[in-house]
Amino acid sequence: MKITAIKPYVMWGETSRPAKASAAPGGRNWMFVKVETDAGIYGWGEGSLVNEEPTIAQCVEQLAPQIMGDDAHNIERIWQKLWLHNRYRGGVIIMSAISAIDQALWDIKGKALGVPVYQLLGGAVRDRIRVYSHASSPEEAKKRVQEGFNAIKAGTWHKDMDRGIVESVLPGWLADHVTGLREAVGPDVDIMLDNHGRSRPALAIKQVRAIDHLNVLFFEEPTPPENQDALKLIRQAGLQTEIATGERLLTRWGYREVIEQQLVDIVQPDICHCGGISEMRRIAAMAEVYHINMAFHNPKGPVATAASIHISAAIPNFLILEHSKPNSVFEELQVAPIKMEGGYYGLPTAPGLGVDLREDVIASRPYQYRHVIYSYMADGTPAQP
């Protein structure tokens, strides 16, 4: 079964147009890859990355000749070719392209053998897959619960701080913020916090201490990803809240230090960037050795969500899966939409990833640049958004 075509598709994944530069950022594009074979079987993959989707699509076209005509069944051989035959390997653009192609190949293999992908990974170790979505306020948190989620994640920096960050007010504000979220959703809904890697270690420790008594499931990306040694300082602070990181780390080599030194309790690879299903399974196995859980990063489209569901079903150290906010385009794009009920996805039953996309919907929603609000300290120094 030979590969005959590798086609990237980029689309705007929202019902509304992107916000203006002066407004809060919002909305996402999606980048999908369709791999076709001479057996008439095709597969879908996803490599969406904020505002970089056209660049990744171009990278897919650059990589395609390396594997055109290869046997689509040989997923690992193809992965190794795409990894090793590019001298300057790694980096989020190339890895996102590889990740999308890898997902599509697993989709093809499952379809060819007539089984869901998770069966090819050793079968299910759980009966359902727990997911969470996002909320920035108590009102939005209530809405997520009404939509069926039993876990939500919020940011740790108030949006009004982006143009004049004063670090001293952050810990107190965060404690009040989490208290308000808890009052809104009650005791049975899990709350997670995402710091987006914005803090120095000393500030991150103050932030976590401010909410350490509020039963937060995990505190994500306390410090920037460029220096993993900073996480050692967080570890040494004696905090009880579990620490997570990893959405911006790529491949098992990128995770090695964090996992081997047990710098966090939870790692968060993204199936669109870390190397696809093939590499995510290896990262999960590495983390399992050190009793580290997996909470996959996934504010993405339906293909990445489906692929993440399959691997979540098959690994023993899965905790919870991120999910984008409910969006009508997410369902409209799919031929037969996957369904979340009561905060969980059931085990997929269709062969492959179980997701097929409507190309007419993709064509009707061309790429739109997503404006980003840039952050600054109170004195005008640029800060990480």
**Which amino acid makes up residue 69?**
G
Q: List 341's β-bridge partners, or say none.
A: 344
Q: Helix or strand or coil: residue 161?
A: helix
| 297 phi and psi angles, rounded to 5 deg | -75, 130
DSSP 329: H
**Which amino acid makes up residue 276?**
G
Please report, for residues 33, 61, 82, 186, the alpha-carbon distance to residue 246 in angstroms, rounded to integers and kept in the order given. 24, 27, 22, 29
Structure tokens at 6: 């590798």
> Which residue from 237, 245, 287 is spatially nearest to 264, judged by alpha carbons?
245
Q: Where are the alpha helices (DSSP H) in the chain?
A: 53-67, 75-84, 92-113, 117-120, 138-146, 170-185, 201-211, 230-235, 251-260, 276-289, 302-314, 328-332, 359-363
Which residues participate in catalysis according to the annotation?
196, 297
Asked whether 103 and 44 are in contact (CB, 8 A), the reply is yes
In angstroms, the CA 242 to CA 266 distance is 7
Asked whether 365 and 32 are in contact (CB, 8 A), the reply is no
